[in-house]
Chain A
Amino acid sequence: MEPAVLTGEHFLNGDVACAEGALAAGCRFFAGYPITPATEIAEHMSKRLPGVGGVFIQMEDEISAMAAIIGASCAGVKSMTATSGPGFSLMMENIGLGIAMETPCVLVNVQRAGPSTGLPTLGAQGDMMQARWGSHGHYEIIALSPCSPQEIFYQTITAFNLSETYRIPVLIMADEIVGHLAERVIIPQSSKISLQSRPRAKGRKDRFKPFHPGANGVAPMAHAGEGYMVHFTGLTHDERGYPAMTADAQAEMIERITGKIQRNLDKIIQVERYRLEDADIALVSYGISSRSSLAAVDEARERGVKAGLLRLITVWPFPEQIVRELAKRVKRFITVELNLGQIHLEVQRCAEGRAPCLLVGHAGGAVITPEDIVKKILEQT
């Protein structure tokens, strides 16, 4: 066996760092389909998984890749897939299956510019609303957004931990720039990496209800082969997992799958605040755009403007409360993202008219520069 955790200092691109993060998190099943700019994740997993006792399979499309990781997870193995825009669109229906079956798994979207085939080799952050609402029906999702190879390594571990804790598919919304950017990545000793596992079924097998929530709203999970004879379905179901075709059962199930996230927001949401304490202007950004934003804050400060940055590590669930609080004291928000206003809409919603909300956006295919952002900051002061 080879080591799953490659402790040490490395020079890795974001895609490879993501794959290493998955292995460090205990991922032992990867199903994927080649797509630029996410392919390197699959390639690296195909190389590494056999050596750590795992299985890699290249499926016939992204639909089957997503189905396969849910199936693997139902058999008890931590599983992941990785894709980009077109494949992300194809995975949407089975993301909903993972939500309804409350099955842990991780999906990485290394975003490229869309719509359609778009700019396969160039970055964007245009799938953020799709990440939130792309599968049909009403549900909650968890999505993280990394800004560097080092961060994607850690976020992938976090993604698995959240996914296991809350029995939910977790999305890593990376972008082509982070995916292909090579930087120093420090991988800690495995003893320093804290891992979570899904709550497991115990007790009488004939009385077990696979969707009966535990104390934190999350039901313990029984795997195929453990003798609990569970039934999982994408149909609206009761706590036994049995289809229940009524409005009441629907209300109860949706409350269960949304409530377990909404009641644990403080444990799920992570943000980073940079020079926000006395800020008049709050930048809100995530992923690669947050790095330009960071530089822009310093530049604006040098020019005498009190700018700060709210960097979203968790994009979904959206840190509503934090933005609402900020709205009470900042003079304006500027959202910086590689689309023409998606998270911007969320900032607007949560600012509730207390502060003007501006956007530094871009259709994708390039990076937003610190200069673009500084210009917008200075225009408004």
Chain B
Amino acid sequence: MNGSTAPKHPLDGLLRTDRIPHIWCPGCGIGTVFSSSLIAISSTGKDPANTAVVSGIGCSGRGAGYVNLDSYHTTHGRAIPFATGMKLANPELTVVVFSGDGDLFAIGGNHFIHAARRNMDLTVICVNNLNYGMTGGQAAATTPHLAKTSTTPRGNPESPFNLPLLAYASGATYIARWTMLHTRDLTQSITEALTRTGFSFIEVLAPCPTGYGRKNRLKATDMLKIYQEKAMVKNGINPAETILDLEHGITLGKFVEYDRPTYAENYKAVCGE
């Protein structure tokens, strides 16, 4: 930072500016999702000292390292159970899990469905770039069928999860999907998630030009065009009817929001004094 004359950014207070530059590649979408998250955290008006960010491993998992809040960069896939322990130990904390699709839905998939089932009071933001970026673009549990990655050179023989549907079936009480192009809607959703009680899940599509893009001949801007052209905003639609298909359409919106007791509320009601 060496006393530069660069004007202070409004979000600098929430950033570990001494850790910038970050590791994210040119054209990567994580930074935009990260910005939206910080704007949302800031707009809730809550005391930042009471907000903790927990990440797993991967490109998005580095998010915790740049945020000037109590922040925990845990093991691969285990951000949600770590956050679960933290939230139960101090219910006053607002706990945000910021991580990627590989971390949250392959190695950490089991924890996701159980935290959703418990309606654990967490906000889970999943940056979905359709592949493992950090390790060089391997297939993930979100990679489209037939898409090329460094471990599916002939095309992906598998089919991806539809994350909002998985979240819904598991019991999440707030579910939204946006792309990093839809920053206002995304910021709005994260703000709503942070200010409500219960398990909130927000999936955000983000380009990975270095990994997914390179193998599938999609420049970062091509991916943004797809987001723009294929987006179908359908708020309130049943998650079973949502699709994520780069050719035929990407259903976006806030799909689910309802109230049911959280784990802590149920624990108090059932086991409390």
Chain A residues within 8 Å of B, Cβ to Cβ: 1, 29, 31, 50-51, 55-57, 59-61, 63-65, 67-77, 79, 93-94, 96-97, 101, 222-235, 242-243
B70 and A224 within 8 A (CB)? yes
B64 and A29 within 8 A (CB)? no
Q: Scan residues 54-98 of chain B and give those whose CB is less than 8 A from a CB of chain A.
A: 54, 64-65, 68-75, 77-78, 80-90, 92-93
B78 and A72 within 8 A (CB)? no
A-B contact sample (14 more), CB < 8 A, given A76-B90, A234-B73: A50-B271, A63-B77, A67-B74, A67-B85, A70-B82, A71-B54, A71-B85, A71-B89, A75-B52, A101-B72, A224-B90, A226-B70, A229-B69, A231-B73
Total of A-B residue pairs, C-beta within 8 Å: 147
Find B110's partner among A50, A56, A61, A65 (CB 8 Å cutoff).
A61
What's the Cα separation between A109 and B249 when bound, in Å? 51
B70 and A228 within 8 A (CB)? yes
B272 within 8 Å of A (CB atoms): yes
B49 within 8 Å of A (CB atoms): yes
Q: Give the interface size class of chain B.
A: 35 or more
What's the Cα separation between A64 and B114 when bound, in Å? 10
B74 and A72 within 8 A (CB)? no
B52 and A67 within 8 A (CB)? no
A235 and B90 within 8 A (CB)? no
- A59: which B residues are within 8 A, CB to CB? 81, 84, 114
A226 and B86 within 8 A (CB)? no
What's the Cα separation between A70 and B70 when bound, in Å? 14
- B49: which A residues are within 8 A, CB to CB? 225-227, 229
A75 and B93 within 8 A (CB)? yes
B85 and A29 within 8 A (CB)? yes
Chain B residues within 8 Å of A, Cβ to Cβ: 16, 18-19, 48-50, 52, 54, 64-65, 68-75, 77-78, 80-90, 92-93, 110-111, 114, 263, 267, 271-273
B92 and A71 within 8 A (CB)? no
B70 and A79 within 8 A (CB)? no
Find A235's partner among B52, B73, B82 (CB 8 Å cutoff).
B73
What's the Cα separation between A231 and B68 when bound, in Å? 8
Find B75's partner among A75, A222, A228, A234 (CB 8 Å cutoff).
A234
What's the Cα separation between A234 and B72 when bound, in Å? 9
- B89: which A residues are within 8 A, CB to CB? 29, 55, 71-73, 75-77, 79
What's the Cα separation between A63 and B89 when bound, in Å? 18
What's the Cα separation between A1 and B272 when bound, in Å? 10
- A93: which B residues are within 8 A, CB to CB? 75
A50 and B272 within 8 A (CB)? yes
Closest approach, in angstroms, between the C-beta of A115 and any C-beta of chain B?
24
| Closest 5 pairs (CB-CB, A-B) | A71-B85, A68-B85, A64-B81, A72-B85, A75-B89
